[in-house]
Amino acid sequence: MRRSLLDSPSYRLIRALGQHKAALYEVLRRHGLHVGQEFLLAQLWREDGLTMGELAARAGVSSAAVTKVAGSLERAGLVRRERSAEDARVVRVWLTEAGRALEGPVTAAWYETEHLLRERADTIREALTALAELEK
């Protein structure tokens, strides 16, 4: 029997992740957000008033990416950036009321998209473990 790439577990995993990612992006779009903004907001929902550097480190992205995303969130009225009175080089990012108000709806919708993952968590965990073992 001829093997097909389409039957590969890795191919199926990548395809499933792509579909899941598309569903998550739709959640963001419904709430007026763009891809990437959720990671910065999630950090601020956990701890407001972080510096740009702290946001970059916690979100695992570059300072340039944080600057771009923070600017778009500020233009949308979801955050405000303030230069530190103690050190003019430091900029802190604070949620506005509108930004804080998104936490509940975005988080709830995000977790709702994960219902299939939760239902099959053991199977997914086993498959990912098996794939990781192949790389050793």
User: What mean pLDDT is predicted for residues 80-99?
Assistant: 95
The average confidence (pLDDT) of the chain is 89
Summarize pLDDT for 5-43 with one digit per residue, the tens: 887 777 877 887 888 888 888 889 999 999 889 999 999
Q: At what angle do helices 103-112 and 9-30 cross, to 10 degrees?
A: 150
CATH code: domain 5-134 is 1.10.10.10
Which sequence spans correspond to the domains of the chain? 5-134
Query: What's the pTM value of the predicted model, to 2 decimals?
Result: 0.77
User: What is the model's pLDDT at position 136?
Assistant: 64
Residue of 61 and 6 predicted with greater confidence: 61
For residue 132, the surrounding DSSP H or E stretch is: helix 121-134
Contacts of 63 (CB under 8 A, 6+ apart): 52, 53, 56
